[in-house]
């Protein structure tokens, strides 16, 4: 199958990976790798997979995937490049032209509505129209006020058939943080916690390395790769001296090819933005308070103030998805202010056996059971010997 830059990234990294291609596919749907497209839904799910492979490296832009199917049923692919690189649709068109294929009359699948304004790049709709694309299939429209349906309108005005909403559930799940950031002006906030079964994140003497297993810690590095920024408190920096970088990932993590590429220091000349994406795998590091000059988290960005004002400022700074890794004071403040959009909790089969260890959240909590916060568990699974629980705030109309 002909391939675009996202596919080429995977192929270049695979030369250095220790795991086989079969292992790379076990944990995530990759339905079209080496196969034919049988439906619009197939193509859109493939586009989602491509976008997930660059998630965390494209901020402030969304991690879009695109699949181009020519009139001869040739398939070309693309994913958003790190700024100031190309958008996914342009990458897919470029892959087709590089292979000598004519995109005229082709169908273009893209997870997000093509942009219609000039920003770091020219409008994608101009390139789509100029290429003679006959049909564009869009997962979801873009709520960004610069787009907000204008891309779809412009394509239709150019007499291009446009279908919106194909595999929308999968696209919404993938792009949820970006859509949230554009609609609320706040980054999507993910709180990661690692604790014993009785809810302690550290012993009374402050030691916490390690409560969970190596498998759980590698999985948590996947969260870092997924998010474009991470926030910790200065107290956590002083106590644990974390580096907050991505150093290990499960073999099937969608970012594993980028990690392998970075570790191997490969420089595929045919994919000019692959190196940039690999180098952006580590999230931007923010510290609430003052970080010691010699701390491993350096270089970092120090912020101060109440979190209800800090978090929106991070969105203004281009943060789309923010991972919070500690400590208990930050976790408690964010929770009480209703600023957490996703909770990821790793529970180890261990007990602190008392109430003098550090809790998951510090501060004043609910005073009555009637005031307990209730969420919705979206996923529960084993990671090595530990449990991983993913929870979202309950919908407003939930009991």
Positions marked catalytic? 89
| Strands across the sheet containing 284-288 | 301-303, 284-288, 229-233, 321-324, 188-196, 342-348, 386-393, 375-383
Q: Cα separation of 6 and 8, whole Å? A: 5
Q: Cα separation of 225 and 258, whole Å? A: 10
Quote the distance between the C-alpha of residue 191 and its chain's center: 14
Q: Cα separation of 156 and 162, whole Å? A: 6
What are φ and ψ of residue 279, in 5° steps? -75, -20
**Pick from 177, 118, 119: nearest CA to 143:** 177
**Pick from 325, 333, 233, 226: nearest CA to 280:** 226
Contact 166, 139 (CB under 8 A): yes
The terminus-to-terminus CA distance of the chain in angstroms comes to: 50
Element (H, E) at 189: strand 188-196
Q: Cα separation of 141 and 373, whole Å? A: 32
Q: Cα separation of 189 and 176, whole Å? A: 11
Contact 46, 32 (CB under 8 A): yes
Pairing verdict, β 386-393 and 375-383: antiparallel
Q: Cα separation of 5 and 277, whole Å? A: 11
């Amino acid at each position: 199958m002909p391939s675009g830059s996202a596919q080429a990234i995977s192929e270049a990294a695979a030369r250095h990976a220790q795991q086989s291609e079969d292992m790379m596919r076990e944990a995530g749907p990759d339905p079209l790798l080496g196969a034919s497209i049988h439906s619009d839904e197939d193509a859109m799910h493939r586009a989602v997979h491509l976008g997930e492979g660059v998630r965390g490296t494209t901020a402030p832009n969304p991690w879009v995937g695109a699949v181009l199917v020519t009139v001869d049923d040739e398939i070309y692919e693309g994913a958003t490049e790190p700024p100031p690189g190309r958008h996914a649709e342009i990458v897919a068109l470029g892959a087709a032209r590089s292979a000598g294929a004519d995109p005229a009359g082709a169908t273009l699948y893209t997870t997000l509505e093509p942009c219609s304004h000039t920003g770091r790049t020219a409008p994608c709709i101009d390139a789509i129209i100029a290429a003679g694309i006959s049909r564009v299939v869009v997962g979801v429209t873009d709520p960004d006020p610069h787009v907000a349906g204008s891309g779809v309108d412009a394509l239709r005005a150019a007499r291009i058939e446009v279908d919106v909403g194909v595999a929308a559930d999968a696209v919404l799940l993938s792009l949820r943080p970006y859509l949230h950031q554009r609609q609320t002006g706040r980054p999507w906030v993910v709180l990661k916690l690692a604790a014993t079964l009785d809810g302690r994140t550290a012993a009374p003497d402050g030691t916490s390395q390690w409560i969970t297993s190596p498998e759980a810690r590698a999985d948590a590095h996947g969260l870092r790769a997924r998010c474009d920024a991470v926030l910790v408190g200065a107290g956590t920096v002083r106590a644990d001296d974390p580096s907050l970088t991505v150093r290990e990932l499960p073999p099937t993590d969608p970012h594993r090819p980028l990690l392998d590429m970075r570790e191997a220091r490969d420089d595929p000349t045919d994919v000019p933005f692959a190196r940039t994406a690999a180098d952006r795998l580590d999230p931007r590091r923010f510290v609430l308070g003052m970080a010691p000059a010699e701390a491993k988290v350096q270089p970092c960005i120090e912020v101060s103030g109440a979190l209800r004002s800090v978090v929106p400022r991070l969105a203004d700074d281009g943060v789309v998805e923010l991972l919070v890794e500690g400590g208990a004071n930050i976790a408690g403040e964010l929770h009480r202010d209703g600023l957490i959009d996703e909770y990821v909790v790793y529970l180890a089969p261990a007990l602190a056996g008392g109430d003098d260890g550090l809790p998951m959240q510090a501060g004043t909590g609910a005073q009555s059971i009637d005031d307990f916060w209730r969420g919705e568990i979206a996923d529960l699974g084993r990671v090595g010997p530990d449990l991983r629980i993913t929870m979202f705030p309950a919908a407003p109309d939930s009991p």
